[in-house]
Amino acid sequence: MATFQKRSGSWRAIVRKKGYPQVSATFDTKAQAERWAKQIETEMAQSRFIDTREADALTIAAALERYEREISVHKKSYRNERSRLAILKRDLGNYTLTSLRSSDVAAYRDQRLEVASGSTVRRDLALLSHLYTIALKEWGMPVDNPCAKIRKPKLNNDREQRVSDAELGRILQAARERHAELASLITLAVESGMRRSEILELRRENVKGSVAYLADTKNGSARAVPLSSVARAAIGELPSRLDGRLFSLRPDTVTHYFAKCCKDAGVAGLRFHDLRHEATSRFFERGLNIMEVAAITGHKDLRMLRRYTHLNPSALAEKLG
């Protein structure tokens, strides 16, 4: 049975029914309060009532904070995901889980595309969508996913950034002048195809003869990476450290220094991750087959290798004769 209370010019409706939590809401007029109460009583009588009060009160910002504590911290990508969480909190944090509409997400998408790539915005939306999946399946909140029906941004064209031997030589020279370890790290990236994180986690004990053994990789599988004579020489130039690690540099420091070295060398548009792309392309140009390259780089989806492989047409012409 519903009861109504008049408070400072507004009306509060209270619905109590056995087997359901007490629910209430405040309205400008008594007629509005009565209509709402009748709707709630009908839904309860037909066993269709869903209590959305928790989701109605939980802001996107608070939900993302809980998601970070319970979900993000267990991801390998947590360090990178923190900045994405911060952007979503900044732009959508004031909405609640139930008030955020598809049109709001679409507006966010279009605004982000003005400053970020399609791939970046897709990852933003994937994170927001997963928040709603977790809220529904694990937190027990009756929410609809506002990301489900909007158009996803187009993916960027595959990067075709290659670095010539001459350009690499200038970058390495700049690296030697900037930090003692940097040239060895860059050489190892080009020669092995390892990711930045994988190289920085390497310890002396992980390198045995001509193979580097990676226990913890991005895709969760251990792998053994064969090392060329050039890669082994780069490792040999590094001084021994008390902690056993090959490198003392932090990931963000590597990215910052590499950008500086490229600028000093007059090489535009090259990112550190492009060195993995370059290494993969060079493997194919040396005649390795796709399974051999996948074993080195750790790609599980062979189709992904196409994104990293932009073969030098001159090298292909030499093979044709």
% helix, strand, coil for the chain, step of 5: 55, 10, 35
Total domains, the chain:
3
Q: How far is CA 217 from CA 14, 95, 186, 201, 220, in A?
A: 55, 37, 19, 10, 5
- The C-alpha atoms of residue 135 and residue 104 are separated, in whole angstroms, by 19
- With bands split at pLDDT 50, 70 and 90, how would you rate the model's confidence at 151? very high
The residue-averaged pLDDT of 14-25 equals: 75
Domain of residue 269, CATH code: 1.10.443.10
- Torsion angle in degrees (nearest 10) through CA of 244, 245, 250, 251: -150
Residues 299 and 173 both lie in one domain: yes
Residues 203 and 309 both lie in one domain: yes
Catalytic-labelled residue, pool 67, 95, 132, 308: 308
Residues 264 and 133 both lie in one domain: no
Whole-number pLDDT of residue 314: 66
Residue 264 domain-assigned?
A: yes
- The C-alpha atoms of residue 2 and residue 301 are separated, in whole angstroms, by 59
**Contact (CB, 8 A) for 199 and 185:** yes
More confident residue, 177 or 23: 177
Q: Is the pLDDT of residue 17 over 80?
A: no
Residue 281 domain-assigned?
A: yes
Residue 252 domain-assigned?
A: yes
- Stretch (H or E) spanning 281: helix 274-285
Residues 68 and 126 both lie in one domain: yes
Residue 187 domain-assigned?
A: yes
- With bands split at pLDDT 50, 70 and 90, how would you rate the model's confidence at 174? very high
- With bands split at pLDDT 50, 70 and 90, how would you rate the model's confidence at 313? low
273 is catalytic: yes
- With bands split at pLDDT 50, 70 and 90, how would you rate the model's confidence at 130? very high
Name residue 27's beta-bridge partners. Answer: 11
**Contact (CB, 8 A) for 284 and 309:** yes
Catalytic-labelled residue, pool 195, 196, 277, 282: 195
Token digits of residue 285 = 């140009």
Q: Which domain holds residue 32?
A: 2-49
Residues 116 and 215 both lie in one domain: no
Catalytic-labelled residue, pool 38, 53, 218, 306: 218
Q: Among 49, 68, 85, where does a domain finish?
A: 49
The residue-averaged pLDDT of 251-267 equals: 93
More confident residue, 11 or 220: 11
Residues 225 and 172 both lie in one domain: yes
- The C-alpha atoms of residue 254 and residue 195 are separated, in whole angstroms, by 12
Whole-number pLDDT of residue 226: 93
Residues 175 and 306 both lie in one domain: yes
Q: How many CB atoms are located within 10 Å of the residue 26 CB?
A: 14
208 is catalytic: no
Whole-model pTM? 0.61
Q: Is the pLDDT of residue 315 over 80?
A: no
Closest CA to 178 of 99, 241, 259, 237: 259
Q: What φ, ψ does residue 252 adopt, rounded to 5°?
A: -70, -30
Closest CA to 189 of 63, 84, 274: 274
Residue 130 domain-assigned?
A: yes
Residue 36 domain-assigned?
A: yes
- The CA-to-CA distance between both ends of the chain, in Å, stands at 90
Residues 191 and 267 both lie in one domain: yes
Q: Among 49, 65, 87, where does a domain finish?
A: 49
Residues 28 and 111 both lie in one domain: no
Catalytic-labelled residue, pool 109, 277, 282, 299: 299
Catalytic-labelled residue, pool 89, 179, 276, 277: 276
218 is catalytic: yes
- The C-alpha atoms of residue 291 and residue 286 are separated, in whole angstroms, by 14
Residues 75 and 41 both lie in one domain: no
Residue 156 domain-assigned?
A: no
Residues 267 and 232 both lie in one domain: yes
Residues 250 and 202 both lie in one domain: yes
6 is catalytic: no
Whole-number pLDDT of residue 15: 78
Residue 149 domain-assigned?
A: no
